[in-house]
Amino acid sequence: MINITVNGQHHEVDADPNMPLLWVIRDILGLTGTKYGCGAAQCGACTIHLNGEAVRSCVTKLNRAAGQRIVTIEGLSANNDHPLQLAWNELNVPQCGYCQSGQIMSGAILLRENSNPSDQDIDDAMSGNICRCGTYQRIRAAIHKAAAMQTEGAKL
Amino acid sequence: METNSISRRNFLRVSGLAGTALCLGFYFPANAKKEELIAALAEGQSSFEFNAWMRIDTDGKVTLTDHRAEMGQGSYQSVPQIIAEELEVDLKDINVIFAIGDPDKYGSQITGGSSTIRGSYKKLLNLSATAREMLITAAANKWGVPASECYAQSGHVIHKPSGKKFNYGELVTDASKLSPPKDVKLKNISEYKLIRKPLNRLDTPMKTNGEAIFGLDKKLPGMLHAAVERSPRLRGKIKSFDDSAALKVPGVKKVFKIQMMVFNTTRDGVVVIADSTWAAMQGRKALRVEWDDSGFEHVNTIDIYKAHEELLKKEEGISHKKQGDTDGALAKATQQIDVIYQTPYQSHAAMEPLNCAAYYQPDKIEIWGPIQAPDWVLNDISTKFKMPKDKVIVNMTFLGGGFGRKAFLDYTHEVVAISKEIGAPVQVVWSREDDIKQGPYRAGISYRGQGAIENGDISALKFKMAGQNIDHWNGPARGKANGSTSEGFLKPYYDSIKNISFADVPYEMPLPNMWWRSVYASTNGFAYESFMNEMAVLAGQDQLDFRRKYLKDERCQRLIDRMEEVSGWKSRQKNQGYGVAITECFETTVGQVVKVSRNAEGKVKIDKVWAVMDCGWYVNPDIIKAQVEGSVVMALGAATIHEITFKNGLVEQNNFYDYLMPRMSDAPPVEVHIMENTADAGGVGEPGLPPFAPALTDAIYDLTGKRIRKLPFNMNAV
């Protein structure tokens, strides 16, 4: 049994300690917003937060998360209202949408660390996330928008 | 105003499960030459022959069945947006569900050829207006007033003089007893409140919080998980396998051999069944399989292109289109060019790897997955498993990209065969490596262009293509030319250029092929439009002025006007790095201007892409813009970043570490303009792709003087 906390809920997981968190989260806990894209930390579709840091869950083993705190896309906000989610909706970022959980989870760490990222900062922070539909320009615009919303929110 | 009618005899009485509902649907008889419109009216009985298209419940809820796949191109938004316009309902009140595969009820359901809107918008408008008129009549009858005094708005019928109103739910029962009006008036474009507006997509919220269910996310009670080891070489046969280590992996339950059918060929695999995806993948790694995969060792990319080149030099091929006398004109020409273009094999590499879930039971087969052609899957599964069609249920989920790959029938057949073997619901997940290495691919095609200029005008255009034909699945020998040899080439050229010929030089190779976003236009467009640019240089003329002379069609002239205007084409300096191309794809014409420059390190970078699209009647300009933006990125990858190559019969690429993808920093700014006109709708999901590569290489020629004729090329090495 390995204890993990996912989106604020404690779970005792009975699984191979080497099982990547991706499959623990999807197949055992039933949270399917985190996606499998490559299994090799190349595409970012499986990005989650482990103790507040973005990690590729497809290569992060269950035992590395023992006793630790995980946030998935389902737990990023209560009402789909994280500034990134609001900006994504306003700018109609997703096309097929498959990579977007990972994009948003990567973007959330960038925004926490850098409240006013430049294009270059965004390109660097998001370089590990592939979008085959090619929504990159909208993702970049949405991150700028979310940064502005966050700043506005902080002033209020 | 346009008028449309629905014939009364074609109305049927049908039922909703939960009380009365007004259901309208249209039906394409499978064997009819002309699509016939049939609406169905609900009441009482529990069985009906034709399925409903849209449904209004007595509580006023409107449910629309989307018969096409949603793979990013936006049908989940644009189809409701059409219906809501004429039905006069608010989009927030519409519930959208995906259809099951049923071509007898829905007609073609393949999401391909950019056909979702252009194939159904007129019928959707007509059906929606018909339902609206019936609801208005029902209200007028209830009030005892003329229908002309009533109008519909936001799911209500309102009596104008008195201000009285009913919501649609209150009218459904009465409306369902009416005969549909013979003629309904459709709105003019100027009257649209929803259509042509950049409304937010209905599927966006569920794609930002993890709620959207893709194929991979499907869970069934008691579902097992499977991973399949397939031959590393094409059509390899299993000689033997050792599953002893695999069966020791915790969670692995069973290992057995399976055959997957791919059109007229079969592919062997060893299946590992487990209680989780991960356990199945681990079990698969522990397998020891000995393959007999002889017979394909000779397949090498370098040889494929060498063979293309020799064929294009020696053979005249099979004529596809011919007007005038190209050979005669070439023979006496003083100014001519003769060049070869090459395009690579490409993987679709959708972000969602192939997967599918199925449950085979002796009297019923049900399947769930990211499926582009549920009607094809239905027919295929019914035939291969000898199950009546009404006992085969094909469910579409959201698709994490498709690009043509998910209309292939291999993975859907395989999962049903596996479920049949174990007698339980099962999900098969392909690894990214399976997705990249197993194909099918866009075929790499080579072209030879020969052309002559006389007195500044084109006197001959002669094109030949050599490459695998997608149709090769239907049999190896081809007696006639590939029907898509001239796809992408603008039709007005035929009216103004006297001598043109297209020929297909057959080239057989047993590599699995499938259409890939924009199909042949994606490769033809590069060759034919690059050649037009080379001809313009030979004639000493501006590329757009040169095209203008031959594209006399008014829509083309206006498209060129707009391209010049938005890109500042006429005020550019020579060798500043501007390039251009115009292609046609699925009844839509797109022109692109690309601007490149050298960055501080001396490397070529793309500053901007201007795209002008003429797709005729359209629904949602923001979705169209998004499709073109994305098409440019996909085209950029295929032109400069990745290709599938073969060495001794093996695919050399594996995953995103060696089949590289454009990243955020690679994506150029794209400015999209849509031409306003009232012509019939063309496609939008694919036509933005073909002009990009020839416009980019033209821009590089303008900047550097180097003409690129082989894709992909390395931008950093130009």
Average pLDDT score over residue span A89-107? 98
Say yes or no for a CB contact (<8 Å) between A132 and B626.
Answer: no
Domain boundary among A46, A75, A104: A75
Q: Is the pLDDT of residue B39 over 70?
A: no
Shortest Cα–Cα distance, B350 to chain A (Å):
6
If DSSP codes are grouped into helix, strand and coil, which group holds residue B659? coil
Tell me the pLDDT of chain B averaged across its residues.
90
Which of B463, B522, B175, B477 is CA-nearest to residue B321? B463
Shortest Cα–Cα distance, A44 to chain B (Å):
10
Segment B309-315 long-range contacts (CB within 8 Å, at least 24 positions apart): B309/B340, B309/B446, B311/B466, B311/B505, B311/B507, B312/B340, B312/B446, B312/B447, B312/B448, B312/B464, B312/B466, B312/B505, B313/B448, B315/B464, B315/B466, B315/B505
Shortest Cα–Cα distance, A146 to chain B (Å):
14
B518 neighbors B686 (Cβ within 8 angstroms): yes
Shortest Cα–Cα distance, B523 to chain A (Å):
19
Q: What is the per-residue pLDDT for B34?
A: 29
Q: Is the pLDDT of residue B651 over 60?
A: yes
Grade residue A152 by pLDDT with cuts at 50, 70 and 90: confident
How many whole angstroms from its chain centre is CA B77?
16
Grade residue B233 by pLDDT with cuts at 50, 70 and 90: confident
- Residue in chain A closest to B656 (alpha carbons) equals A42
Reading the block at residue B287, the tokens are 């397998």
State the CATH number of the domain containing residue A119.
Answer: 1.10.150.120
A11 neighbors A75 (Cβ within 8 angstroms): no
Q: What is the per-residue pLDDT for B509?
A: 87
Shortest Cα–Cα distance, B351 to chain A (Å):
6
User: DSSP assignment, residue B334?
Assistant: S
Reading the block at residue A133, the tokens are 């539909």
User: DSSP assignment, residue A24?
Assistant: I
Q: For chain A, what is the largest distance between any 2 Cα atoms, rounded to a whole number of angstroms?
A: 47
pTM of the predicted structure, to 2 decimals? 0.94
Interface of B with A in 651-670 (CB under 8 A): 655-657, 661-667, 669-670
Say yes or no for a CB contact (<8 Å) between A42 and B657.
Answer: yes
Which chain B residues touch A45 with a CB distance below 8 Å?
351
Say yes or no for a CB contact (<8 Å) between A97 and B211.
Answer: no
Q: Is the pLDDT of residue B708 over 60?
A: yes
pLDDT digits (tens, 9 = 90+) for B332-379: 999 999 999 999 999 999 999 999 999 999 999 999 999 999 999 999
pLDDT digits (tens, 9 = 90+) for A26-40: 999 999 999 999 999
Please, what is the Cα angle at B340 between B337 and B346, to 5 degrees?
A: 150
Length of chain A equals 156
Residue A99 is nearest to which of B71, B351, B633, comparing CB atoms? Answer: B351
Residue A89 is nearest to which of B208, B627, B631, comparing CB atoms? Answer: B208
For residues A69 and A101, state if they share a domain: no
Say yes or no for a CB contact (<8 Å) between B278 and A16.
Answer: yes
Residue B349 is nearest to which of A36, A85, A132, comparing CB atoms? Answer: A132
Residue B209 is nearest to which of A38, A80, A95, comparing CB atoms? Answer: A80
- Residue in chain A closest to B211 (alpha carbons) equals A33
Shortest Cα–Cα distance, B502 to chain A (Å):
33
For residues A97 and A60, state if they share a domain: no
- Residue in chain A closest to B73 (alpha carbons) equals A95
Interface of A with B in 28-47 (CB under 8 A): 28, 30-40, 42-43, 45
Shortest Cα–Cα distance, A156 to chain B (Å):
25
Could you give the number of structural domains in chain A?
A: 2
Q: Is the pLDDT of residue A22 over 80?
A: yes
Which chain A residues touch B206 with a CB distance below 8 Å?
97
Q: Is B671 on the interface with A (CB under 8 A)?
A: no
pLDDT digits (tens, 9 = 90+) for B547-589: 999 999 999 999 999 999 999 999 999 999 999 999 999 999 9
CATH of domain B215-295+354-429: 3.30.365.10
CATH of domain B315-346+442-717: 3.30.365.10
Min mean pLDDT across A61-75, B291-305, B335-349 is at: B291-305
Domain boundary among A25, A56, A75: A75
Reading the block at residue B337, the tokens are 């060019």
Q: What is the per-residue pLDDT for B474?
A: 65
Q: What is the per-residue pLDDT for B477?
A: 58
Say yes or no for a CB contact (<8 Å) between B277 and A96.
Answer: no
Say yes or no for a CB contact (<8 Å) between B203 and A137.
Answer: no
Reading the block at residue B150, the tokens are 């009533």
The dihedral sign for the CA sequence A138, A143, A148, A152: positive
Grade residue B183 by pLDDT with cuts at 50, 70 and 90: confident
Which of B196, B70, B83 is CA-nearest to residue B132? B83
Grade residue B47 by pLDDT with cuts at 50, 70 and 90: very low
What are the CA-CA distances from residue B405 to residues B71, B76, B314, B428, B516 (Å)?
11, 20, 34, 16, 7
Structural domain including A29 reads 2-75
For residues A22 and A68, state if they share a domain: yes
Domain boundary among A20, A49, A75: A75
pLDDT digits (tens, 9 = 90+) for B49-105: 222 467 887 777 888 888 889 999 999 999 899 999 999 999 998 889 998 898 877
For residues A7 and A61, state if they share a domain: yes
Angle (deg, nearest 10), helices B692-704 and B621-640: 60
For residues A30 and A63, state if they share a domain: yes
ipTM for this model: 0.98
Interface size A-B, in CB pairs within 8 Å, comes to: 191
Q: Is A63 on the interface with B (CB under 8 A)?
A: no
For residues A24 and A63, state if they share a domain: yes
Mutate to test the interface with B, among A21, A34, A38 (most CBs of B within 10 A): A38
Q: What is the per-residue pLDDT for B177?
A: 78
Average pLDDT score over residue span A99-126? 97
For residues A16 and A71, state if they share a domain: yes
For residues A88 and A151, state if they share a domain: yes
If DSSP codes are grouped into helix, strand and coil, which group holds residue B85? helix
Shortest Cα–Cα distance, A18 to chain B (Å):
10
If DSSP codes are grouped into helix, strand and coil, which group holds residue B264? coil
Length of chain B equals 718
Say yes or no for a CB contact (<8 Å) between B630 and A133.
Answer: yes
pLDDT digits (tens, 9 = 90+) for A72-83: 999 999 999 999
Q: For residue B89, what are the contacts with CB-CB under 8 A and spacing of at least 6?
A: B62, B83, B154, B155, B168
Say yes or no for a CB contact (<8 Å) between B664 and A20.
Answer: no
| Residue range(s) of every CATH 3.30.365.10 domain in chain B | 2-207, 215-295+354-429, 315-346+442-717
For domain B2-207, the CATH architecture is 2-Layer Sandwich (3.30)
| Interatomic CA distance for residues B390 and A86, integer angstroms | 43
Q: What is the per-residue pLDDT for B10?
A: 33
Residue B210 is nearest to which of A38, A101, A123, comparing CB atoms? Answer: A101
Q: Is the pLDDT of residue B26 over 70?
A: no
